[in-house]
Structure formats: C-alpha cells, structure tokens
C-alpha cells in the first residue's frame, strides 16, 4: 500500500497547531481524520481543505475529548475508516493560567486540565495502538509544551497536566521502540494561536503554527530506523 493511502489522525484539528498539521499532511497527499468540539469549525476546515487539497480526503468528527465517551467515539470513527492509521498526533488541549493556590479548592481545575491535556491523548491512543503494533510501523506525536519541562509561576494545573503528558510520551516511547512504532514529544513554546489572543505582542515574538507542523512532518519523514524523540521549539527571541 502506498504511504499516501495510510491515515493520519490529528486531534483538535480545527485551529492552531492542529489545523496546521492537518493541512501539512493533506498537502503531502495523506488522508486525514480530525476532530474538534465545534462542528461548524470542522465544516469550515473541511470546505477550505477541499478547495486547497482536492485529492486528499479529510474526515471530520465533532467530539469533546475532555470526556472519555468523546474519545471512544472518535477512536471508533477512525477505526471504521478504510485506511490503516500510520500517524497519530495528539494535539487536543486547553490552557488555563493561574497559581495553584488560587484554584478552586475542590480540585476541579486540575481534573479539567488533566482530562483535556493528558487523558484525551491516553484515551485516543490506546484503542489505536493494537493496529500500529500489529503492523509494526507508525508514529505517535504528543503535543506537549515547554511547560512540560519548566515550571512557570502561573502554570498551575496546566503545568502539572503537561508534565504528565510528557511522562506518558516517554513511557510510551520505551514500550514501543522495539515494536516499530516511533513516539515523539513535541515541545513548542509560545505559538501564535487563539490561546495568545489579546496578548498585545507582535507576531514575531511567537512560533508560527506552520513551523511546528513542518517540524512534525519532517520528523515523520525520516527513515524508520531513526526517531526524533523530542522536538523542542522556541521563539527565536526566547520564551515569553
């Protein structure tokens, strides 16, 4: 089977880094399956990509991956598609800044951050793993953050969740490296997406989402005998 006939799966693909990754793989001729919470946003993405990449199909599914049931429905949607999965990009996430001492005492903010930033990746990955392992090939990218490596004063529960996602990625890498499945932690700094809307900073202080997508595609395009374990990307002028 030709490589371009194998399926690329991107969670949170309607905006930001996810959208850029979707478009980069479609540009290369790969069919892509993606999800987001907003059906209208997905419809807009599908219409745009049908014009820009008419030969590469985009499959969309509205799902809230902060809920285990939403992850299960999306994984079932992916598995029902004809092409086998060759790439999984766990990009879905959310950012809530603030200090731990100011968060609700019931722990709801930590649970919310873990659900969307960690458990969504876990719950989508596990149903797709058997196929990747059986075929002895594939590539999993988990979009972490520089906050996965460095604690920030206003990182709060977001920082905890991103540290946990990085730990999940490293464990997965150790488990799968002998089974032909590559695993990469993507660690971008401040990226020009909706999360930074209203920050009042010039665009050149940020990484472009297209740059992150190009780095992901470049890591994927290496031969099967090589793996980029971590993609650490920062703005040229440093962290914000």
| pLDDT (0 to 100) of residue 82 | 85
Domain boundaries, position 122: 3-233
Catalytic: which of 122, 152, 158, 220? 158
Q: Is the pLDDT of residue 160 over 50?
A: yes
Strands of the sheet containing 139-143, edge to edge, are: 58-62, 32-36, 7-10, 85-90, 139-143, 182-188, 230-233
pLDDT at 2: 43
Q: Does pLDDT of 3 surpass 80?
A: no
Q: What angle is formed at CA 50 by the lines to CA 46 and CA 54, rounded to 5 degrees?
A: 150
Per-residue pLDDT reduced to its tens digit, 183-208: 999 999 988 776 666 667 887 888 99
The more confident residue out of 202 and 2 is 202
Q: Give the pLDDT of residue 239.
A: 85
pLDDT (mean) for 213-235: 97
Asked if residue 166 belongs to a domain, the reply is yes
Residue at 240 is within a domain? no
The tally of domains found in the chain comes to 1
- The answer to whether residue 234 scores a pLDDT higher than 50 is yes
Higher pLDDT: 97 or 53? It is 53
Residue at 22 is within a domain = yes
Q: What CATH number does the domain containing 78 carry?
A: 3.40.50.720
In a domain, 238, yes or no: no
**Does 239 map to a domain?**
no
**Model pLDDT, residue 110:** 97
158 is catalytic: yes
Q: Is residue 161 part of a domain?
A: yes
């Amino acid at each position: 089977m030709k490589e371009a006939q194998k399926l690329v799966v991107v969670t949170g693909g309607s905006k930001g880094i996810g959208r850029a990754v979707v478009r980069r793989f479609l540009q290369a001729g790969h069919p892509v399956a993606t999800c987001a919470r907003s059906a209208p946003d997905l419809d807009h993405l599908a219409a745009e990509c049908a014009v820009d990449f008419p030969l590469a199909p985009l499959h969309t599914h509205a799902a809230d991956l902060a809920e285990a049931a939403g992850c299960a429905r999306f994984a079932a949607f992916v598995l029902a598609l004809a092409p086998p999965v060759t790439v999984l990009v766990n990009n879905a996430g959310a950012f809530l800044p603030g200090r731990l001492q100011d968060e609700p005492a019931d722990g709801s903010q930590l649970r919310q951050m873990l659900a969307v930033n960690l458990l969504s990746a876990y719950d989508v990955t596990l149903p797709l793993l058997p196929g990747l392992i059986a075929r002895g090939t594939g590539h999993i990218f988990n979009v972490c953050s520089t906050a996965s490596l460095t604690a920030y004063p206003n990182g709060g529960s977001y920082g905890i969740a991103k540290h946990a996602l990085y730990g999940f990625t490293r464990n997965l890498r150790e488990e799968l490296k002998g089974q032909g499945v590559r695993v990469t932690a993507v660690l971008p700094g401040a990226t020009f997406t909706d999360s930074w809307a209203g920050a009042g900073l010039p665009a050149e202080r940020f990484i472009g989402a297209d740059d992150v997508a190009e780095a992901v595609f470049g890591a994927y395009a290496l031969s099967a005998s090589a793996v980029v374990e971590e993609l650490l990307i920062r703005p040229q002028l440093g962290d914000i």
